[in-house]
């Protein structure tokens, strides 16, 4: 991609052109030449959007809830970007991306920018391009960005490293489900949503969750009640006050019930992040991780070139298989020129 084309796209995104935003995300997804310059140029214009991650098991109602969330944000005068990730086929690499079907409430509203993404073989619940696509939506001027993960079971926790607030959807009706969540997803949620709250067993699931989150009956009404009780001690800032108590919200996404409550809790959480400095800390962690990720990829690419210079992987394996050398020696030899450069200083 030419430099002029990159400038065009950046200009288009900053001017609010939907087509330019769409093409930017495609460029990022395909890692087309010039995509790094593109994301670099957009970075300076980011930092205003709140990013909400939504995860949960398949069929829990993520897409339907995201649709209603977007609608409610729009009713409050905010613009919304949505990235919905679905799994890709391990065989063909293809994918059927079906989250868009649920976006019925936002038909004809271009201020909800909805983009489906394939995970493209990534296992953490997001695709590698998701973070950079958020950068594009942020630079475009979206107030809220909602990221919906692949239907996740236990360890698809990449969303934590991407979102400011993590919403975990839980289905009512099976204690086993909640048990399963114990290690992994239960640890990453800032807000838990028991969706389909009109189903049998919803109340049990809510109380199970609250129990597991060490919430007592009295402190479930939201953080306002908690602070209200201790208003005399507002000046003291002990560790307990800095800790966010995960909230449990009940919704019926198909009818939009509970969505306003959910947004209030999301706002509370964001305010909490800002007040405690946690927002800043999370952002720093995110950028550190991003820099490391880029360095790993770049270093790996350099090493691939080095492998080619040594006659390619097949030849190296031949030598190892014939017991002429061993994997460790091969690795040492290939990494040697890089190590030399690092140690020179």
Partner 1 sequence: MSTGQEQRTIRCLVAKVGLDGHDRGAHVIARAFRDAGFEVIYSGLHRAPEEIVQAAVQEDVDVLGISILSGAHNTLIPKVIEGLKGYGAFEDTLVIVGGIVPDEDRTALKEAGVAEVFGPGTPMQETIDFVRENVQR
Subset of 4-23 contacting partner 1 (CB under 8 A): 18-19, 22-23
> What residues pair up with 84 in beta bridges, in sequence order?
116, 148
Structure token pair of residue 318: 């031949």
DSSP 1: -
Residues 186, 189, 194: CA angle, nearest 5 degrees:
80
Closest CA to 253 of 92, 88, 74, 69: 69
Nearest distance in Å: CB 197, partner 1: 25
Distances (CA, A) of 181 to 32, 72, 155, 194, 201: 38, 28, 9, 13, 17
Does the footprint of partner 1 cover residue 107 (CB under 8 A)?
A: yes
Nearest distance in Å: CB 1, partner 1: 12
Tell me which stretch binds partner 1 (CB under 8 A): 100-108, 156-164, 178-186, 259-267. Answer: 100-108
Site string for partner 1, 53-92 (x = CB under 8 A): -----------------------------------xx-xx
Yes or no: say if 37 and 6 are a contact pair by the CB < 8 Å rule: yes
Using CB under 8 A, which of 116, 204, 207, 219 touches partner 1?
116
Nearest distance in Å: CB 121, partner 1: 8
CA atoms within 13 Å, Cβ hemisphere of 315: 6
Using CB under 8 A, which of 5, 36, 120, 282 touches partner 1?
120
Nearest distance in Å: CB 4, partner 1: 17
Yes or no: say if 312 and 304 are a contact pair by the CB < 8 Å rule: no
Nearest distance in Å: CB 304, partner 1: 5
Helical (H) or strand (E) element with 58? none
Nearest distance in Å: CB 87, partner 1: 11
Give the footprint of partner 1 on this chain (CB under 8 A).
18-19, 22-23, 25-26, 29-32, 88-89, 91-98, 100-101, 107-108, 110, 113-116, 118, 120, 300-301, 304
């Amino acid at each position: 991609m030419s430099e002029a084309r990159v400038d065009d796209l950046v200009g288009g995104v900053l001017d609010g052109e939907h087509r330019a935003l769409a093409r930017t995300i495609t460029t990022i997804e395909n890692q087309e030449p010039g995509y790094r310059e593109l994301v670099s140029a957009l970075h300076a214009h980011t930092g205003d959007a709140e990013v909400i991650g939504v995860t949960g098991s398949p069929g829990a109602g993520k897409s339907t809830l995201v649709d209603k969330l977007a609608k409610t944000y729009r009713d409050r005068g905010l613009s919304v970007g949505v990235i919905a990730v679905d799994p890709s086929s391990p065989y063909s690499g293809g994918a059927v991306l079906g989250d868009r079907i649920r976006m019925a409430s936002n038909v004809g509203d271009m201020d909800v920018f909805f983009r489906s993404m394939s995970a493209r073989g990534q296992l953490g619940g997001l695709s590698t391009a998701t973070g950079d696509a958020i950068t594009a939506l942020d630079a475009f001027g979206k107030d809220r960005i909602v990221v919906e993960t692949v239907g996740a079971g236990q360890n698809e926790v990449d969303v934590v490293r991407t979102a400011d607030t993590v919403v975990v959807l839980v289905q009512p009706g099976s204690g086993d489900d909640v048990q399963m969540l114990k290690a992994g997803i239960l640890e990453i949620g800032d807000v838990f949503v028991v969706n389909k709250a009109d189903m049998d067993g919803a109340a049990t699931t809510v109380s199970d969750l609250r129990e597991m989150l060490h919430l007592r009956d009295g402190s479930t009404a939201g953080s306002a009640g908690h602070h209200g009780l201790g208003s005399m001690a507002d000046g003291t800032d002990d560790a307990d006050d800095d800790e966010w108590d995960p909230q449990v919200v009940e919704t019926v996404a198909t009818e939009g019930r509970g969505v306003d409550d959910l947004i209030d809790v999301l706002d509370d959480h964001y305010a909490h992040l800002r007040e405690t400095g946690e927002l800043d800390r999370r952002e720093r962690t995110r950028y550190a991780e991003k820099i490391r990720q880029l360095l790993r990829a770049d270093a790996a690419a350099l090493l691939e070139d080095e492998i080619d210079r040594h006659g390619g992987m097949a030849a190296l394996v031949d030598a190892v298989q014939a017991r002429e050398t061993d994997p460790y020696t091969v690795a040492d030899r290939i990494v040697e020129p890089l190590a030399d450069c690092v140690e020179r200083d």
